[in-house]
Amino acid sequence: MAAVMPQLAPPPAASRLLLSGNEAVARAVWESGVRVAAAYPGTPATEIIESLARYPDLHAEWSVNEKVSMEVALGASMTGARAFCAMKHVGLNVASDCLMTMTITGAYGGLVIAVADDVGLSSSQNEQDSRYWGRFAHLPVLEPADSQEAYEMTKFAFGFSEQYETPVLLRLTTRICHVKGLVAVGAREAHEPPGFVKNPERWVMVPAHARTRIPNLYQRDETLRAVSEASPLNILEAGTDRTVGFVASGPAYMHVKEAFPNAPVLKLGFSYPWPPQKVRELAALCDKLVVVEETEQLLETEIKAAGIACHGKDVLPKMGELSPQVLGPAVDRLLGRPVPPPPPAAAPMKVFPRPPTLCASCPHMGIYYTLAQIKNIIVTGDIGCYTLGAGHPWNALDTTICMGATMGVALGIDKGRGEVDRNKRIIAVIGDSTFMHMGMQGLLNITYNKGNVTVLLLDNNTTGMTGGQATPASGKDIHGQDAPRVDLAKVVEALGVANERIKVVDPYELPILFKTIRDEIKVDAPSVIIARRPCVLIEDFKPFRPYLVEEDKCTGCGNCIEVGCPAIHVTRREKVIKPSGREVELAFVNIDNQACTGCGLCVQPCAPDAIQHVPRRDIPIHIVKT
Amino acid sequence: MSQNDITNILVCGIGGQGVMTATEILAEAAIAEGHDVKKTEVAGMAQRGGVVTSHLRFGRKVLSPQIEPGTVQVLLGFEGAEALRWSHYLKPDGLALVNNAKLVPPVVELGLFDYPEDPTGQMRAAGRRVVSFDAMSIARDLGEVRLGNTVMLGAIADYLPFSSEVLLACIVKRFARKGEQVVDANRRAFAAGREAVAKQLGAAPSENATA
Ligand SMILES: Cc1ncc(C[n+]2csc(CCOP(=O)(O)OP(=O)(O)O)c2C)c(N)n1
Ligand code: SF4
Ligand code: SF4
């Protein structure tokens, strides 16, 4: 956020607080005496560092990407300081290069990595099961089932990390991160780092050194498996009804308890390495064993490989969230019990979809309104609010893959295209935060490889999609304090774009924006158009006088609707026959002046000048910022 | 199932309407009454205009945070079509309290989908118990549209398994910093919300009504 964030005194020890999983992790990180906490925003993990930034006595930062955040945490751990980084599932893909070698060096100061899986894809481009990283990197995985456990396991993880010199993966899911529950909190314990010790065999990962340390990973797996067997985080509840027993971790445990309160359950809080002995004990207790896991068939496969018969994904869904209502009938069916049909009243009613929209006055509307009018282009996109340009009414984005991919994909299309695509112009769209996260390398690759791509760099001075976090180009740090402001035009030039091919435009100025894009796509050289206007979420955005539609002047052409602003509403539709004999549907509109913040975008395509400022005396008070 | 002593409340609306804050205050009231509480947050997508729901569950011990369809005692709808969208979450004898705001998304304005003619009417036709009222004009009559959320909380106050005073106290606590005038305005909005519902259900708000 651009606003300066107050650092309030944290609530005292022994309070019971209503905390989300994210807030609970943050509190535990602070109490554990952590000195460095780093992250790049990403749903559902963003609020961990956001809330940590309000605690005193630690360095919290927005890093430019997840890989850097992990490296920062590792560096801190090398000094013996306790360190933490947090990311969403796809963030760990970015950080994985660090992870896979960091596991060999191990941790010195307690080092915890929180990774949040967006189970059910509430706000992500894919669904991934981060528990795999525990196997791949030979790292212990902890899986809390609610806020209280998120707090406790985080506290446990730091000491554990130091004891076994291992980074610890704290695996969260959306239903942990964004669910609030009561948490009994404690006091902070300071943790003074013992100091960096020169030790090249450990910290300089060249083949000779890594080779001597890799056997440690296998040794650690064995040690931790024994620890897991005895761990109080892995609880075997004997239950009373032994027809079916469950192995469950994370939120899945709650679903099991709710649907089958009397069944035996092995709750895995320390889910990797998992305890084979305890699973065998459970299997011996019950007639059938069901592994309940989100999202992939991971534990189930490993348990079967250990020679223990079990069910799981043969009856449960392989993607999305589980719930007691999914679990109950699936297991009843497995047991051959009758499954009552859901009552008819419980069928959902048919209602139109309501996808997220760009905000009224969002500068991205100007970009997509313009792109929708240019023919013969391929537009590669990226991740952020501006991904919505792929939707209605613009339909102006042709690709979206992962952070920064717009650049590489655009160059690949340029180099790979055949004769059919020869006359098309290639435009790569990217947001400012995404550009600094992973787009700069891709742009350098375009200039180096002489690509013919026009880049639209949407500089709204923030990370809009995740709620408006500062970036190196916004001149603010995580606390809203001044920070050095990187000049995007200079960065772009340094990456090899010719000075005369760098244009800075205002996305609210449609004619200039249109002309600039038209001119630049004609040039056979990489060019970058920086479209600069603040996102409405941040302080730099100052609302303007709202507009209204003069009813008698509106001809129903519907041009303004094509801007895609949620403040514009159709009041009446009418079918008319044109002199040419063609039937057209007219749509007469008004503007909700409580929602309009006066960007003026819709005014520009209105030929009869029907869109006019609201008279000053009628301006709602709440939109005039002081 | 061990859901019997659990109260399920579903609050729904659109991003930016204040759904989360309202649920947060309801959660605080349940905590003040000594309940265990779980409340889902649907954050993320910063953009305005998407569907927002918040699940609130409280009781002796709450396990799963998710409310299942067909198990909601009270649905608090901030918008008509949204209340309709989630109405299958209601128990057969559940109660829907719906602000009859109509917020039309761009996909409807573009002519791609239709907005339901009469969302609460459709709910009633499906056999739901529904009370609808206009929280925003009630708030406007009190002189400040921003009181709309407190009107909504007033509306649900008599259909919780604890006294409306508990909820009111939580609201007062929130606004205490802003001075006596703001607190008073919120008290009035709360009372107006209670009355709007009571008028239609034909019962005077009783202090200890349970849902
Ligand atoms: C590797 C990875 N990290 C984080 C995210 C979460 N995320 C999605 S879009 C985005 C950034 C959006 O900011 P910006 O590029 O400035 O575009 P805006 O939303 O402001 O239009 C982030 C952090 C992600 N999808 N992938
Ligand atoms: S949050 Fe900012 S970038 Fe995202 S839609 Fe709104 S104005 Fe646009
Ligand atoms: S001026 Fe037009 S496009 Fe801009 S916010 Fe108002 S209604 Fe929306």
Rounded to 10 degrees, the C-alpha dihedral A94/A97/A101/A105 comes to -40
**pLDDT 10s digits, B112-121:** 999 999 999 9
The complex's ipTM works out to 0.92
Average confidence score pLDDT of chain B: 90
Chain B within 8 Å of A181 (Cβ-Cβ)?
yes
Check residue B207 and give its pLDDT. Answer: 46
Task: Report how far Cα A286 is from the mean position of its chain's Cα atoms.
Answer: 40
**pLDDT band (50, 70, 90) for residue A9:** confident
Fill in the DSSP letter of residue A498: -
SS percent in chain B: helix, strand, coil, step 5: 45, 20, 35
Q: Are A171 and A45 in contact (CB under 8 A)?
A: no
Whether residues A150 and A180 fall in one domain = yes
Q: Is A460 near ligand 1, meaning CB less than 6 Å away?
A: yes
SS percent in chain A: helix, strand, coil, step 5: 35, 20, 45
Q: Which of A101, A161, A96, A166 is nearest to A128 (CA)?
A: A96
Q: Is A431 near ligand 1, meaning CB less than 6 Å away?
A: yes
Rounded-to-integer distance, Cα A133 and Cα B77, Å: 41
User: CATH no. for residue A586?
Assistant: 3.30.70
Inter-CA distances, B4 with A234, B1, B35, B41, Å: 28, 8, 14, 24
Whether residues A416 and A318 fall in one domain = no
Q: Are B50 and B15 in contact (CB under 8 A)?
A: yes
Average confidence (pLDDT) over B84-89: 96
Higher pLDDT, A35 or B16: A35
Q: Are A286 and A245 in contact (CB under 8 A)?
A: yes
Question: How many angstroms does the Cα of residue A200 sit away from the middle of ligand 2?
Answer: 47
Per the structure, how many domains does chain A have? 4
The distance of A158 to chain B (nearest Cα, Å) reads 27
Q: Where are the beta strands (DSSP E) in A444-509?
A: 454-459, 502-505
**pLDDT 10s digits, A36-68:** 999 999 999 999 999 999 999 999 999 999 999
Whether residues A250 and A332 fall in one domain = yes
Burial class (CB in 10 A: 0-12, 13-18, 19+), A580: exposed
Interface of A with B in 91-120 (CB under 8 A): none
**pLDDT 10s digits, B190-211:** 999 999 999 998 764 544 444 4
Q: Range of A32's domain?
A: 16-230
Rounded-to-integer distance, Cα A82 and Cα A192, Å: 9
Q: Is A593 near ligand 3, meaning CB less than 6 Å away?
A: no
Whether residues A323 and A387 fall in one domain = no
Check A355 against B87: CB less than 8 A apart: no
In a domain, A462, yes or no: yes
In a domain, A212, yes or no: yes
In a domain, A257, yes or no: yes
DSSP per-residue codes, B88-157: GGEEEEEEEEEE------HHHHTTSS---S-HHHHHHHTT-EEEEE-HHHHHHHTT-GGGHHHHHHHHHG
Whether residues A511 and A566 fall in one domain = no
User: B48: which chain A residues are within 8 Å (Cβ-Cβ)?
Assistant: 356-357, 359-360, 566
Residues with Cβ within 8 Å of A454's Cβ and at least 6 positions away in sequence, in order, are A425, A426, A427, A428, A517, A520, A521, A523, A526, A527, A528, A529
Q: Is A245 near ligand 1, meaning CB less than 6 Å away?
A: no
Work out which ligand 3 atom sits closest to the CA atom of A591. Answer: 7
**pLDDT 10s digits, A121-143:** 888 999 999 999 999 999 999 99
Residues with Cβ within 8 Å of A135's Cβ and at least 6 positions away in sequence, in order, are A272, A298
Rounded-to-integer distance, Cα B155 and Cα A9, Å: 35
**Minimum-distance CB partner of A346 among B1, B69, B145:** B69
In a domain, A541, yes or no: no
What is the percent of chain A with per-residue pLDDT over 90, rounded to a whole number? 91
Candidates A352, A385, A392: best to mutate against B (most CBs of B within 10 A) is A352
| Strands A179-184 and A111-117, bridge-based pairing | unpaired
Check A393 against B127: CB less than 8 A apart: no
- Of the three residues A230, A246, A262, the one that is the final residue of a domain is A230
User: B70: which chain A residues are within 8 Å (Cβ-Cβ)?
Assistant: 342-343, 345-346
Among chain B residues, the shortest Cα distance to A620 is held by B145
**pLDDT band (50, 70, 90) for residue A625:** very low
In a domain, A134, yes or no: yes
User: CATH no. for residue A36?
Assistant: 3.40.50.970
> Which protein residue has the closest C-alpha to ligand 3 atom 2?
A602
Q: Is A358 near ligand 2, meaning CB less than 6 Å away?
A: yes
Among chain B residues, the shortest Cα distance to A44 is held by B44
User: B87: which chain A residues are within 8 Å (Cβ-Cβ)?
Assistant: 349
> Residue-wise over A283-299: b if at least 16 C-beta within 10 A, else e?
bebbebbbbbbbbbbbb
In a domain, A132, yes or no: yes
Say what the pTM is: 0.95
Among chain B residues, the shortest Cα distance to A467 is held by B46
Whether residues A455 and A414 fall in one domain = yes
The CB-side HSE value for B200 (13 A sphere, CA atoms) comes to: 16
The distance of A556 to chain B (nearest Cα, Å) reads 13
Whether residues A580 and A512 fall in one domain = no
Residue type, A264: P
> Which protein residue has the closest C-alpha to ligand 3 atom 4?
A599
**pLDDT 10s digits, B27-51:** 999 999 999 999 997 654 545 688 9
Check A179 against B38: CB less than 8 A apart: yes
Q: Is A41 near ligand 1, meaning CB less than 6 Å away?
A: yes
Q: Is A389 near ligand 1, meaning CB less than 6 Å away?
A: no
Chain B within 8 Å of A321 (Cβ-Cβ)?
yes
Q: Which of A60, A58, A59 is nearest to A50 (CA)?
A: A60
Rounded-to-integer distance, Cα A576 and Cα B199, Å: 46
In a domain, A39, yes or no: yes
Question: In the predicted model, is pLDDT for residue A201 greater than 80?
Answer: yes
Q: Does domain B7-201 have CATH number 3.40.50.2000?
A: no
Question: In the predicted model, is pLDDT for residue A624 greater than 80?
Answer: no
Whether residues A56 and A169 fall in one domain = yes
**pLDDT 10s digits, A342-368:** 766 678 899 999 988 999 999 999 999
Average confidence (pLDDT) over B117-139: 95
User: A340: which chain B residues are within 8 Å (Cβ-Cβ)?
Assistant: none
Whether residues A202 and A130 fall in one domain = yes
- Of the three residues A230, A265, A292, the one that is the final residue of a domain is A230
The distance of A259 to chain B (nearest Cα, Å) reads 6
Average confidence (pLDDT) over A458-476: 96
Whether residues A412 and A560 fall in one domain = no
Q: Is A507 near ligand 3, meaning CB less than 6 Å away?
A: no
Check B70 against A342: CB less than 8 A apart: yes
- Of the three residues A276, A307, A340, the one that is the final residue of a domain is A340
Q: Which of A559, A602, A611, A613 to mutate to test the pocket of ligand 3 (most atoms within 8 A of CB)?
A: A602
Task: Report how far Cα A56 is from the mean position of its chain's Cα atoms.
Answer: 26
Whether residues A470 and A395 fall in one domain = yes
Question: In the predicted model, is pLDDT for residue A472 greater than 80?
Answer: yes
**Minimum-distance CB partner of B41 among A20, A261, A537:** A20
User: CATH no. for residue A269?
Assistant: 3.40.50.920
Whether residues A143 and A129 fall in one domain = yes
What is the percent of chain A with per-residue pLDDT over 70, rounded to a whole number? 97
